[in-house]
Structure 1
Amino acid sequence: MTFSEMLNIGLMQGFAGLSLFSVLLLMGLGLAIIFGQMGVINMAHGEFMTIGAYTIFLGSTLTEKFAPGFVAYYFPIAICVAFVLAFAAGWLVEWALIRHLYKRPLDTLLATWGLSLAIQQAFRSGIGPKEVSPTLPDWLLGSWAPAEGLDIPINGLFVLALTAIVTGGVMLALYKSRWGLRVRATVSNRQMANAIGINTKKTDRLTFAIGCGIAGVAGAAFTTIGSTGPTSGSLYIVDAFLVVTFGGAASLLGTVASAFGIAQTQSISEFFMSGSMAKVLTLSLIVLILMMRPQGLFASKVRR
């Protein structure tokens, strides 16, 4: 094998890591808002991702059945619908369950874990236990070859662009919008935020719903690289918590950095060893770094 071929393989493996990075980052962003900003351990976060994935599948199925000429255009619309449905589900869950459990982390963990099992069973009963995949538009298929022997999948480029847009939107919203100002004030000092007229309960509900909506977008992105089943989201929940914890619980910049590091380490190491050993290597490196820096890569200045 020539050096050029090894370089191309390394680049393609690295880009495969970028696809995983995109899904982990979108999951991590939603969780960073919910866990990092609100302190809620949401074990059902993966199921909101699955809601987004199933939304894409149902959008594909309905489009093929009732408007086959629209197949080339349904995907971006379905992504927006995935966000809206996951947002609405998150709003309902916060109102019905989470708001009663603030400052009770163990109760929140157990309640959301039970909720995740209930949602998984609802998926099995309503859609079916088998994994499904949507019909992707033709413009998402194929690959781009910038050089001979180097093929980069177009769906990976699309997911990367989608992730960049969502990440930029979250950053702008958190630091340039009234909602972001209220969130940061609530995280910094909830009592003072209440005293100056901020409705912290409404802020909590909107924040939780936005985090769940972003998980729905992660599910939409996931459909381009894998099939969807009732337990698809739960397979990513541990990785998403690792991303948030490793990066720093309230740091969006840390979430981006840790998602990139975890995805690239796992993807590149899979080229040299089995998938399970690559996972062990990645987890071992994370544990070692957290032992030296338990607050994460980017510690928040407002957390105590």
Structure 2
Amino acid sequence: MDELLPPLLNGTALGALLLLAALGLTLTFGQMGVINMAHGEFIMAGAFVAYVTQQVIPSSDLSIPLALPLAFVVAGFLGLLLEVTIIQWMYRRPLDTLLATVGVALILQQAALQIFPAQGVPVEKPSWLDGQIDVLGYEWPLRQVFTIVLAAACVAALAAWLKYSSFGRRIRATVQNRDLAETSGVATRSVDRITFFVGSGLAGVAGVAASLIGGTNSQMGVQYIIPAFLVVVAGGIGQIAGTVIAALAVGIAMTFFAYWTSGSLAQVLAFVLVVIFLQIRPQGLFTVRTRGLA
């Protein structure tokens, strides 16, 4: 038990970080069918927002809580700009969105290199994240606990928004039948834009959490985009519950593999497991089982 506890706890924290990265894709990819390869760069943008906020407000105790909503807004507007200028012409053409957003991702990476140092910049964690929590004799870092709490809060907020708000019902109507939704009076263009804003904003929040663990650099989005897509697909397209389970499973698997092998090989082995799972169950863990909006 003593040997299993550290990778289990650390893997849960990694799974929470992957979940934060994948939540936005649950909307933009899972709900809208857009393959947004620039999503990782929105995570990068959120991380740099945390750094810039810390330069303006040196006290990390204040700057990090302030950086969370700021990163949501900045990354959200980047996603909105992407949707208005490029994506709106490519709905129902997922391969075109993939190619276009790869180009956008490269542009954002180069922009980050021009603005920030190539080696990256550090983000100091607040004092209230110093220290550890004793869990059956293992000293669990508070920053990992914070990542889990933040991911749980984002999942709860997103699920409640989609299930109980009128806008959430309009999103589901647009996803299931865009033409019928338009004839029913749903402004699908507004739905598209707000969905991209929220999905991209969640990537910004993930970037703040990631910056507290590994700092910031122009390539950090690449580390998260492929695992995030695998998590969304393995969980079931557009299914929040499946995304949660898949993210935790991938995070724990990667951590256990890392204890026995190298970090890069652990990632490869985890991806192989996901691919094998998708061969057995191509639809993912969960699928939509009703044609209604409820």
TM bucket (normalised to shorter chain) is: over 0.9
CA distance in 1 between partners of 2:158 and 2:235 (Å)? 16
SS at match of 2:101: helix
Structure 2: tracts of 5 or more residues without a match: none
Deviation at 1:281, TM superposition (A): 2.1
CA distance in 2 between partners of 1:49 and 1:295 (Å)? 27
- Name 2:233's counterpart in structure 1: 245
Structure 1: tracts of 5 or more residues without a match: 1-6, 65-69
Deviation at 1:279, TM superposition (A): 2.1
Deviation at 1:100, TM superposition (A): 1.3
Q: Quick check: 1:113 aligned with 2:107?
A: no
- Name 1:4's counterpart in structure 2: none
Task: Check the 8 A contact 2:42/2:221 in 1, yes or no.
Answer: yes
Describe how 1:130-209 pairs up with structure 2 within 5 A: 130-148=119-137, 150-209=138-197
Describe how 1:276-295 pairs up with structure 2 within 5 A: 276-295=264-283
Deviation at 1:154, TM superposition (A): 0.6
2:32 to 34, 38, 58: 38
Q: Aligned partner of 2:9: which letter?
A: F
1:221 to 199, 204, 209: 209
CA RMSD in angstroms, aligned pairs only: 1.4
SS at match of 1:40: coil
Structure 1 range deviating more: 214-223 or 18-27: 18-27
CA distance in 2 between partners of 1:179 and 1:281 (Å)? 40
CA distance in 2 between partners of 1:87 and 1:280 (Å)? 31
Task: String of CA shifts for 1:64-96, please: whole Å, max 9, x gaps.
Answer: 2xxxxx432221111111101111111111111
CA distance in 1 between partners of 2:130 and 2:198 (Å)? 30
Deviation at 1:192, TM superposition (A): 1.1
SS at match of 2:57: helix
Task: Check the 8 A contact 2:124/2:212 in 1, yes or no.
Answer: no
- Name 2:88's counterpart in structure 1: 99
- Name 2:242's counterpart in structure 1: 254
TM-score of the two chains, using structure 1 as the length reference: 0.92
TM-score of the two chains, using structure 2 as the length reference: 0.95
- Name 2:68's counterpart in structure 1: 79
SS at match of 2:133: strand
Deviation at 1:295, TM superposition (A): 0.8
- Name 1:54's counterpart in structure 2: 48
- Name 2:111's counterpart in structure 1: 122
CA distance in 1 between partners of 2:275 and 2:75 (Å)? 32
Q: Aligned partner of 1:176: which letter?
A: Y
CA distance in 2 between partners of 1:223 and 1:280 (Å)? 23
CA distance in 2 between partners of 1:14 and 1:48 (Å)? 29
Task: Check the 8 A contact 1:60/1:134 in 2, yes or no.
Answer: yes
Aligned-residue identity in percent? 40
After TM superposition, where is structure 1 displaced by more than 6 Å over at least 4 residues in a row?
Answer: none
CA distance in 1 between partners of 2:246 and 2:168 (Å)? 22
Deviation at 1:125, TM superposition (A): 0.4
CA distance in 2 between partners of 1:290 and 1:118 (Å)? 32
CA distance in 1 between partners of 2:290 and 2:73 (Å)? 31
Deviation at 1:248, TM superposition (A): 0.8
Task: String of CA shifts for 1:150-205, please: whole Å, max 9, x gaps.
Answer: 10101111111111100000000010111111001111111111011100011011
Q: Aligned partner of 2:38: which letter?
A: A
- Name 1:89's counterpart in structure 2: 78
